[in-house]
Amino acid sequence: MTTARDIMSPDVTCVGENDTLEQAARLMRDLQVGAVPVCGEDRHLKGMVSDRDIVVKCLAEGGDPAQTRVGVLGEGKPVTVGADDDVQVVLETMAHHQVRRLPVVDGHDLVGIVSTADVARTLPPERVGALVSIISY
């Protein structure tokens, strides 16, 4: 059985919920990623923030990314999968929630991220194509 742990990217850097969106944007630039997990003071996952979130929910609304805290963009409980969940659960979760990046937790600890790129690198093309067609809108 292939699990989330088998296909995830294990190197995860969080942005703090009290950091600014400007700090989050710089982190994304430095890591060359389009989204980063948001962690609280307790190091537990609070959500995800993407470059698109910064543009649409801050800049387009006239907000100042140097003053706006990352935690402001958090909406509800983050969608996650368990590290030992079967890859089919990962794909179904990504499809159901239409997300391209899915945090992987082990208990309460963030241990990785599964992205569509991770799926593409490790699964057969027909499964990748099905996922991409579902989450692309």
3-state helix, strand, coil in the chain (%, to 5): 40, 25, 35
CATH number at residue 89: 3.10.580.10
Tally of structural domains, the chain: 1
Provide the strand spans (E) within 34-136. 35-39, 45-50, 81-82, 101-106, 109-115
pTM recorded for the entire structure: 0.84
Amino acid at 51: D
25/6 Cα distance (integer angstroms): 28
Instruction: Name the DSSP class of 109.
Output: E
Q: What percent of the chain has pLDDT over 90?
A: 61
Structural domain of 118: 4-135
Q: 43-90 pLDDT, tens per residue? A: 789 999 999 999 999 999 999 999 999 998 866 678 999 999 998 899
